[in-house]
Chain A
Amino acid sequence: MTFASMDVLALAERRLAWIDQRQRVLAQNIANVNTPGYVAKDVVPFNEVLASQPGGGTMRPAARMVAAKDGTSSGQSIDGNGVALDEQLEKVAEADTAQQLASNLYKKYLGLFKTAIGRS
């Protein structure tokens, strides 16, 4: 096994940290679905985070906040609230699947190491 496989663990860890942050932003959006004047937020996409800090530490904050692009396109309600509930819930489902994938990947790689040292 080469050292490159360690990179997969680090990458999965960063991905998990990013999803974690995104889930928090989405929860905030949904909690504010009836707050006047609130505009939906989202985090910077993961590929952009990777591009801007390629070898970044695993625990570095993954993203800064940006106003959601699609949240405002579906129009604001009369009180200036720009949260589209269906879009937000879709993003939550997306984050859920992504987290499942990343954590499974992490587990499988750890499993490989366990096999290598003889503990299955």
Chain B
Amino acid sequence: MDLTTTLQLSAKGMTAQSTRLQVIAQNLANSDTTGSSPGADPYRRKTVVFSNTLDRSLDTTSVSVRQIVPDTSAFPRRFDPSNPAADTTGYVKTPNVNSFVEIMDMKEAQRSYSANLNVMEATRGMMNRTVDLLR
């Protein structure tokens, strides 16, 4: 039945968005994780890349997480000589995580997730009505 494929496509979209939310949560949780030795690199922000690839089990293309890539932007530096991760000049490298950016990203993921959920509900209604034809 074709409508089950539609349901699975929406489910794939939801899985992709929840992976994205997972990465955002990781970024936010590590927004203060500095290195452990003097001059060491702190936590590096990660981002998710989606792609539309052929799914052989569904015989159509569907969305999936292609890879989780590190954000290569520079680390901000903060003067904190007492920190164990401070280098000889007293500066500490802090993670390149901006909580405002993460929260915006989170909102977008949330919105996309509920859009997929809406499609799922509509499709389920269609399936119910099709089954009702037999009554």
- Interface of chain B residues 74 through 109 with chain A (CB within 8 A): 108-109
Bound: A38/B132 CA distance, A:
36
Given contacts A24-B6, A31-B13, contact A38 B133 (CB under 8 A): no
How many A-B contacts are there with CB distance less than 8 Å? Answer: 98
Bound: A47/B3 CA distance, A:
22
Given contacts A23-B6, A28-B60, A34-B108, contact A103 B133 (CB under 8 A): yes
Q: Give the distance to chain B from A78, nearest Cβ to Cβ, in Å.
A: 13
Interface size class of A (residues with CB under 8 A): 20 to 34
Say which residue of A23, A31, A32, A89 sits within 8 Å of B123 (CB atoms).
Answer: A23
Q: Give the distance to chain A from B117, nearest Cβ to Cβ, in Å.
A: 10
Given contacts A27-B123, A38-B52, A96-B125, contact A32 B6 (CB under 8 A): no
Contacts of B109 in A (CB 8 A): 34
Number of interface residues of B (CB under 8 A): 36
Mask: chain B, 112-132; 1 = CB below 8 Å from A; 0 = not: 100110110011011001101
Contacts of A31 in B (CB 8 A): 9-10, 12-13, 16, 62-63, 116
Contacts of B3 in A (CB 8 A): 20, 23-24
Interface of A toward B, CB cutoff 8 Å: 16, 19-21, 23-24, 26-28, 30-36, 38, 85, 88-89, 92-93, 95-96, 99-100, 103, 106-107, 110
Q: List 19 A-B contacts (CB under 8 A).
A: A16-B130, A19-B126, A23-B119, A27-B9, A27-B13, A28-B61, A30-B116, A30-B119, A31-B12, A34-B16, A34-B20, A85-B111, A89-B119, A95-B126, A96-B122, A96-B125, A99-B129, A100-B125, A103-B129
Interface of B toward A, CB cutoff 8 Å: 2-3, 5-7, 9-10, 12-13, 16-17, 20, 49-52, 60-63, 108-109, 111-112, 115-116, 118-119, 122-123, 125-126, 129-130, 132-133
